[in-house]
Amino acid sequence: MSAKGFNLIKIGVLLLGFPVIAVYALIKSWTVYEYNYSYFPYVLAGMGLLLLLALLYAAAVALTGQMAKKSKNINGIFASTMILVAVGALLSTGVWSLIDKYVPPVISNATQDTITYEDIKEDYENRAIAHAELLSGFVEMNVQNGRLSPEKADIYREEGYGNKEVRELIANSFNSITWDGYDTFNGMLVNFANGGRLTVPVLMHLLFDERQDPWYGYNGYTGEGRGEENKNQPLRWSVLDLQGGAMTFSIDAGGLIPTDYNELLDWILPTLFDDGGMLETLLKSVDSAIASEELVGSPIYVAVDYAENTITISVQSSNGSRGVHDYMSMAWLNSNHLLMAVFSIFPVRNAFYIFGGLLALTGFALGAVRQKQYARSWR
């Protein structure tokens, strides 16, 4: 066989190794990239690592090729083959076992155990989507409340993290809820709220106990027609803002209202509870009282509804109107770019774990071809 023929076979063998891994990694990386391309270049960290490993492997192929070519007997070829196999094993398993060992504590520390290595390992696609939604949700909330200009809404949606205004607003919002929120609580009870022990007494303490004064400032409305005075005002965040979302309490009113007054109820209930009814109007005053410094110091929206003998009271924090997620989600959003870099590494890692054996196999096969090719010159 001609040298050309051998080269063709060698290329064929090589194609069955690293490229298979790379293609698989690229395919599996697509979701992470598709949803988060605005996190360029962070989101390409996995690809960068893949490229680096590809270069290392290419260098190993080239060097061992030289070594095999120059060798005078079968031992030299054998040694070069073994080096290539060993490099393959190192790249496919060695590097990644080191990452598996040393990266988990780093992630746990960086996210205060809210995200662990195990959470991401096989679930990076869903994670990437969920974290993409943190960003899109943030943009939508703030376009709606005017902290981001509604006219430029499509630009924000398109550019995402790449947009400077969005980036700055994320940083400002996170710092505000951290320094003017989380950090202003005295004592340890705020950890009870975050640790699944938000009891009524803990809530009362967190709402009404003395707190440190806010100082950092919240970047208020910047859109057109908004006053300068709204810019960077320190404001309070209540514990419900840290938790985010709404809380609903149901009271069974069956026993509260005697049934013999049906006529009366038929009249009172709609007046009180209907949309635009009396309670809705009254609660606006309650909301504004709650937001005053004398009470909680930050808005909590109360709504009351009545249906089928059940009174439902829902309590909504100010997150939506202020354009800020709960504290944990804001912490994630604030370091989303770094998390994206982490997420993007996992498809590459898994590709190497699944197809890692191919590197050893093709390395060995390449050695065999080289032996056939170069052994002829010894005769």
Q: Helical H runs in the chain?
A: 3-15, 18-36, 45-70, 74-89, 95-110, 117-121, 124-145, 153-159, 164-179, 189-194, 200-208, 239-243, 262-273, 278-291, 319-322, 327-334, 336-375
For residues 88 and 355, is the Cβ–Cβ distance under 8 A? Answer: no
Q: To the nearest whole angstrom, how small is the minimum distance from the Cβ of residue 286 to another protein?
A: 7
Q: To the nearest whole angstrom, how small is the minimum distance from the Cβ of residue 323 to another protein?
A: 25
User: What is the spatial distance between Cα 272 and Cα 262, in angstroms, rounded to a whole number?
Assistant: 15
Binding mask 232-261 for another protein (x = CB under 8 A): ---------------x-------------x
| Residue 199 or 321 having the CB closest to another protein | 199
| Residue 55 or 282 having the CB closest to another protein | 282
For another protein, which residue of 282, 307, 313, 368 counts as binding (CB under 8 A)? 282
| Residue 225 or 276 having the CB closest to another protein | 276
The residues pairing with 306 across neighbouring beta strands, listed in sequence order, are 311
Q: Quickly count: other Cβ atoms within 10 Å of residue 221's Cβ.
A: 17
Binding mask 294-323 for another protein (x = CB under 8 A): xx----------------------------
For residues 263 and 316, is the Cβ–Cβ distance under 8 A? Answer: no
User: What is the spatial distance between Cα 95 and Cα 89, in angstroms, rounded to a whole number?
Assistant: 9
For residues 181 and 241, is the Cβ–Cβ distance under 8 A? Answer: yes
| Residue 3 or 200 having the CB closest to another protein | 200
Q: To the nearest whole angstrom, how small is the minimum distance from the Cβ of residue 189 to another protein?
A: 7
The residues pairing with 311 across neighbouring beta strands, listed in sequence order, are 251, 306
Give the interface segment with another protein, choosing from 65-73, 130-138, 158-166, 186-194 (CB under 8 A).
186-194
Give the interface segment with another protein, choosing from 83-91, 128-136, 208-216, 219-227 (CB under 8 A).
208-216
Give the interface segment with another protein, choosing from 52-60, 97-105, 225-233, 271-279 (CB under 8 A).
271-279
> What count of residues does the chain have?
379
Positions touching another protein (CB under 8 A) are 186-189, 191-192, 195-205, 208-210, 247, 261, 263-264, 267-268, 271-272, 278, 281-282, 284-286, 288-289, 292, 294-295
